[in-house]
Amino acid sequence: EQTDPTGETIVEIVNALKEIDSAAAKTFVELYLGELVKGEE
């Protein structure tokens, strides 16, 4: 069974990516959250 990560896990992933590459962290958030980040419906 496959489940989505929790919000807390997403924060941990983004924080880890920021340490490696802040652009990668931003891209991850944009891809994961999609239209919500862009403010589009």
Structural domain boundaries in the chain: 7-37
- Name the token pair of 22: 């802040």
Question: CA-to-CA distance for 12 and 2, rounded, in angstroms?
Answer: 19
Is the pLDDT confidence value at 1 over 90? no
pTM of the model: 0.71
Of the chain, the end-to-end C-alpha distance in Å amounts to 30
The 10s digit of each residue's pLDDT in 2-34 is 888 888 999 999 999 999 999 999 999 988 888
